[in-house]
Chains A and B, each alone.
Chain A
Amino acid sequence: MALPELVLSLLRRGPAHGYDVKRDHDGWFPDGRPLAYGQVYATLSRLERQGLVTVQETRSGGGPQRTVYALTEPGEQRVEAWLAEPADVASSSADEIVRKTVAALRSGGDPGPFLGRQRAAHLRRMRELTEGAADDDLVARLARDHLVAHLDADLRWLDLAVDRLADTYPTQEAGP
């Protein structure tokens, strides 16, 4: 899971402290595993060291100290590049494709270009798998069939996502 990029996309909507980041993440992905606070703060600290987020203010109104983080320009560039780039088909799970789409939509971006690139990446991988299939023995062929079937399932979801976006935003290419 690309947690740093997800945290960056959560900060696209405005400065927030760790608690907000965790709460919004769990709201974006209600079926996923909730983020642990430790993960959130460790990620934010790492992103700060990398110059991708900056500490905007530190509040301590009687309770525990709260640090508010804001996205920097390099952070915005990183998250935009991540949202635009197709997930690595050979190694990533379908989960990452859904996460990118959700992150783009929830942070006010347009997932259309990403969905198009992901479709092409999936088809290219499927083509590679199909090309060598004739030389396979039965066992290799079955393993290959399984990969192709999974790619096909992802592709169906990608097509459906594009269709639904086109229905929802008919005057634009895709996205809000």
Chain B
Amino acid sequence: MSESHDRLVLELNGVEHAYRRTVALRGVGLEVGPEEVVAVTGPSGCGKSTLLHIAAGILRPQAGAVRLLGEDLDALGEAARTRLRRERVGIVLQFGQLVPDLSLLDNVALPLLLAGEERAKARGDAAVWLERAGLDAPLGPSPAELSGGQAQRVAVARALVTEPALLLADEPTGSMDTKGGEHLLDLLLGAARERGAAVVLVTHDNVVAARADREVRLRDGAVEAEAVLR
């Protein structure tokens, strides 16, 4: 493998996936370099979210290869794959996906606790990120009391708390108004830039896509076009 490939944060090659008879991805390739922000766009049902789930190692493709931070996901066992995802990848899914029975602070601290971090330290780091996300941790509401936009901010804090090398976000501003979405992206992209993390943003929103360095546009499960925006 070439040196440039060694440096890629994420590399998908010939990835195919289908749900029963519905083909979601047909031979998709994607490369994301260090500190690069890539927007994956396309009409509803084009395979954007499937691509993100495969990149995260949540979903295994039926064909093709995925290399995450230099590791071939297919060659890793389940435990190693989970560890890699937990420690090096931050994921923001649609609608936040918070754990309803945990406080906001513990929701954000969760990835650190799962990675074996000591409780006080994990909660301290979580409080810092919650504050950056504009939420008051100790007195804050429970996840069920949050608006869609607030839940997304907590999800972003949770994705950032491990200081990942790669951030994957699926429609991160989906349930937010223009200004709320802007603040969330400022937080997410600002933190990524500070830490030198790469970002993959799945979005149908052109204003969000325009924050990326490069756009990869999907149609019917295949890459339709790529454009450098920087």
Contact = CB atoms under 8 A, between A and B. Distances in A.
B210 A126 contact: yes
B43 A123 contact: no
Contacts of B215: 120, 123
A161 to B, nearest CB: 12
Contact of A163 (B43, B206, B207): B43
B186 interface: yes
A102 interface: no
Interface in A124-151: 124, 126-127, 130, 134, 148, 151
B159 interface: no
Interface in B192-225: 206-207, 209-212, 215, 217, 219, 224-225
A119 interface: yes
A120 B227 contact: yes
A152 B229 contact: no
A57 interface: no
A159 B224 CA distance: 12
Given A134-B186, A159-B43, A123 B219 contact: no
Which bucket holds chain A's interface residue count?
10 to 19
A124 B207 contact: no
B229 A124 contact: yes
Contacts of A155: 206
Given A127-B210, A134-B186, A148-B207, A120 B229 contact: yes
Contacts of B224: 116
A123 B186 CA distance: 18
A122 B225 CA distance: 15
Contacts of A120: 215, 225, 227-229
Given A119-B227, A120-B227, A166-B219, A130 B186 contact: no
Contacts of A159: 43, 206
Contacts of B212: 127
B21 interface: no
27 contacts: A116-B224, A116-B225, A119-B225, A120-B215, A120-B228, A123-B206, A123-B209, A123-B210, A123-B215, A123-B227, A123-B229, A124-B227, A126-B206, A126-B207, A126-B210, A127-B210, A127-B229, A127-B230, A130-B207, A130-B210, A148-B207, A151-B206, A152-B206, A155-B206, A156-B206, A163-B43, A166-B219
